[in-house]
Structure 1
Amino acid sequence: MRNARGTIIRPDPLPDSASRPVVTPLSPSVVYASDTPDMLDAQYEGRLQGYTYAREGHPNADVVAARLDAMEGATGGVVTGSGMAAVAAVLMGLPKAGDHVIGGNQLYGRSMRLMAEDLPRFGVATTLADPGDVAAVRAALRPETRLLLVEVVSNPSLRVADIDGLAALCREAGVLLAVDNTFTTPRGIRPFDHGADIVIHSLTKLLAGHSDATLGYAVAREPALTERIRAFAVTAGLTPSPFDCWLAERGMLSFELRHDRAQATAAVLADHLAGVAGVKRVLYPMRADHPDHARAAALLAGRGGNMVSFELDSGRAAANAFARAAEGLSFAPTLGDVGTTISHPASSSHRALSDADRVTLGLSEGFFRISVGLEDPDALCGVFSRAIETATA
């Protein structure tokens, strides 16, 4: 509208239309106007559905949350500005000072740092335990234990957690089970179907799938817990970008097709790498030589996912040579892109660990994690063969 001098202050709302857009509109507005204070009260009190301030929610985030809710069999999920924001919203939004939290001992590096360095600063004690060993987790329990955080398939060692056993233990002990489902995705497993209380995702990865959107997601089985997660996310400003949400929604439309194509290629690549000279070992959950193969086959119903890890029988010099020689592949600390990416945990995700701790996890200087994309399987196998030959020559 125009004021008396003709200056445009704010435009009128968009014109009414008998038709509707096929693509979700991008809504970058930071603030939303209400008609009256009474209307604003009604929105905050839940009597009217509406938006107020983007930090508290916006349409694009709700569209993405609804899609992922449907995939996970959940309701009311919270979308955050990154995967680690979702992890933080759970670990800092639910426990209180004096509580104890257990984490899987092969969590993503930043999740481990949050548990080891940040939670203790706020009076929350933490312990790491092997999520594939229910007895080890039981031994780590304390009377004040409130939450257990695990990944279904660990990053980057691809070990498989005993989700069913851990869920039974948590029910017995009255402990919340939070499952980071980023690697496996709802296509591989729906943790709520196996007794989890909380599900976490980094949408940045395979769900959005194009390396152009940074987002996370968390939801609890109990709505009251979800609201505590949401309250912390809003207070701490873990706000997702509307544009990133808009991009992620686009990526999620092709998620199942991309997942299945990448998964099929990953299985081919894992078998191929196992026969390449200079490769010390290959880790892929559906291979019979994987240490958790039987558990993976039962838990994941044959869906090994798109992640493969392997170890060169050599050190950092060969790792550098391999990364340089991997023609057409991005050496980058990410996963889930349409193109295959390779990462080196010792210099990226797990660089903060001591040499001894990395050795304990099996993360040598020759260890690489592969996020398989949509390339032709034969062409991809050829790239790896040539790069490994160059690196080990």
Structure 2
Amino acid sequence: MNKDKRTLIRPEGLPESASWPVVTPIMPSVVYASETPDALDDQYEGRTAGYTYAREGHPNADLLARRIDTMEDAKGGIVLGSGMAAVTAVMLGLLKAGDHVVGGDQLYGRSLRLMGQDLPRMGVATTLADPTDAQAIAAAIRPETRMILVELVSNPTLRVADMAGIAAVARDKGVLLVVDNTFTTPRAFKPFAHGADIVIHSVTKLLAGHSDVTLGYAVARDPQLQKAIYDFAVTTGMTPSPFDCWLAERGLATFDLRFDRAEATAVTLADHLAGLPGVRRVLYPMRSDHPDAARAQAILGNRGCNMVSFELEGGRAAANAFARAAEGISFAPTLGDVGTTLSHPASSSHRALTPEGRAALGIGEGFFRVSVGLEEPVALCAQFTQAVSAARGA
């Protein structure tokens, strides 16, 4: 019998080395070999640790999850294929037909679609309520309510949820509180310290930070809830790419520096926009004219984050002229990149709402959301001045 392993397509083992890589290797293997059926049983039954099939977990995803766990003061979180995969895994992993969910009425557009269309057709009832008013959330609770989903800072109008009040409602009613922490990140806010049961992130955004990754993250305080979320994600194939996980882990190495720089520039830009003719209003949590300024200060301290929203006079014509004139600033439905990006919710994230529905949320045709990046503040403000001037001319 020929025992020469050089004839095998996939010989066992890796080259031996007395040293080790400084940077995490990319490990794209889909399958992992076990020594025996008994050894595989030991893995599945928790007596030993290891990998079997990448849909059930792989090293790059676990390394990234541990990094975010540390940031959130959490344990056992999982990385998924997108931020909406994280939202979906939490909801469909924990809810059943007959349950009811209360959501903030200014959630991300696709979260609103999930609440308004997909969950109801699966037998899960939903209600939207104002997250800045804990009494409105409490009034929406029913006997069958299982979950509350909010963003601390809403997308795109940057309203600040009454987190203390909502957490008290959730505790009193025995309802799970889920917080999407994408905008604020653990740098500004740690939901578990404020009563959350489950934390969600779109890692695609500020955590990864370079617009080259699509990932999500979800972690529950209760290990049993976490297992239910994990099982649903594995069953439905919400597998993250090892390469994306590797890129995101690399992005986390500079996260604090990126966040602080972008946040400081956002303060400058918000104040600058507020003084420009043709700008109807500016929304930034640390500004004294923000409708939730006192709450933002109490919850976030001096952390206003990197998002600024504003509304131009002149509606859609002004919006088109502004986007054309904003040279070097990408008009793209994303946030958290190293470069500043512009989003127009009426034509992107909230386009599925009626004009009346958008108006009720304060989103008009001249409304923009800005994800501030790492540009020099003076140069960025100059570019916005030029673009606002062009919008006025329209």
Offset from partner CA, 1:182-225 (integer Å, 9 cap, x none): 00000010000001000000000000000001000000111111
Answering whether residue 223 of structure 2 is matched by residue 232 of structure 1, we say no
Secondary structure of 1:388 counterpart:
helix
Identity between Structure 1 and Structure 2 (%): 72
Shift of residue 317, structure 1, vs aligned partner: 1.2
Q: Which amino acid is the alignment partner of residue 266 of structure 1?
A: A
Distance 1:94 1:372 in 2: 35
- 1:308 maps to 308
Distance 2:371 2:42 in 1: 47
Distance 2:264 2:191 in 1: 22
- 2:346 maps to 346
Distance 1:91 1:364 in 2: 30
Secondary structure of 1:219 counterpart:
strand
- 1:12 maps to 12
- 1:222 maps to 222
Distance 2:127 2:54 in 1: 36
Distance 2:156 2:13 in 1: 49
Distance 2:198 2:347 in 1: 31
Distance 1:371 1:14 in 2: 44
Shift of the 267–5 alpha-carbon distance from structure 1 to 2, 3 Å rule, reads closer
Shift of residue 16, structure 1, vs aligned partner: 2.3
- Deviation >6 Å, runs of 4+: 2-6
Offset from partner CA, 1:216-252 (integer Å, 9 cap, x none): 0000111111111101100010010000000000000
Distance 2:3 2:327 in 1: 61
Shift of residue 11, structure 1, vs aligned partner: 3.2
- 1:22 maps to 22
Offset from partner CA, 1:232-277 (integer Å, 9 cap, x none): 1000100100000000000001000000000000000000000000
- 2:201 maps to 201
- 1:145 maps to 145
Report the TM-score, using the length of structure 1 for normalisation: 0.98
Offset from partner CA, 1:67-108 (integer Å, 9 cap, x none): 000000000001000000000001111011111000000000
Distance 1:273 1:161 in 2: 24
- 1:74 maps to 74
- 2:242 maps to 242
Q: Which amino acid is the alignment partner of residue 288 of structure 2?
A: A
Distance 2:13 2:344 in 1: 50
Distance 1:357 1:96 in 2: 28
Distance 2:374 2:56 in 1: 36
Distance 2:240 2:11 in 1: 25
The 5 A counterparts of 1:83-122 are 83-122=83-122
- 1:47 maps to 47
- 2:265 maps to 265
Count of aligned positions: 392
Secondary structure of 1:21 counterpart:
coil
CA RMSD after TM alignment? 1.1
Mapped contact 1:192–1:199 kept (Cα < 8 A): yes
Q: Which amino acid is the alignment partner of residue 383 of structure 1?
A: Q
Answering whether residue 317 of structure 2 is matched by residue 317 of structure 1, we say yes
Secondary structure of 1:280 counterpart:
strand
- 1:278 maps to 278
Distance 2:227 2:289 in 1: 43
Q: Which amino acid is the alignment partner of residue 39 of structure 2?
A: M
Shift of residue 6, structure 1, vs aligned partner: 6.3
Secondary structure of 1:138 counterpart:
helix
- 1:334 maps to 334
Distance 1:5 1:288 in 2: 71
Secondary structure of 2:385 counterpart:
helix
Distance 2:328 2:126 in 1: 42
Answering whether residue 136 of structure 2 is matched by residue 136 of structure 1, we say yes
Mapped contact 1:3–1:9 kept (Cα < 8 A): no
Distance 2:261 2:5 in 1: 60
- 1:63 maps to 63
Mapped contact 2:5–2:11 kept (Cα < 8 A): no
Shift of residue 64, structure 1, vs aligned partner: 0.4
Distance 2:17 2:4 in 1: 29
Shift of residue 17, structure 1, vs aligned partner: 1.7
Q: Which amino acid is the alignment partner of residue 196 of structure 1?
A: A
Answering whether residue 63 of structure 2 is matched by residue 35 of structure 1, we say no
Offset from partner CA, 1:290-316 (integer Å, 9 cap, x none): 000000001011100000000001111
Mapped contact 2:286–2:302 kept (Cα < 8 A): yes
Q: Which amino acid is the alignment partner of residue 21 of structure 1?
A: P
Mapped contact 1:160–1:296 kept (Cα < 8 A): yes
Mapped contact 1:154–1:160 kept (Cα < 8 A): yes
Q: Which amino acid is the alignment partner of residue 224 of structure 2?
A: A
Distance 1:3 1:110 in 2: 56
- 1:293 maps to 293
Distance 2:162 2:135 in 1: 11
Mapped contact 2:343–2:369 kept (Cα < 8 A): yes
Secondary structure of 1:150 counterpart:
strand
Q: Which amino acid is the alignment partner of residue 107 of structure 1?
A: L
Shift of the 345–240 alpha-carbon distance from structure 1 to 2, 3 Å rule, reads same
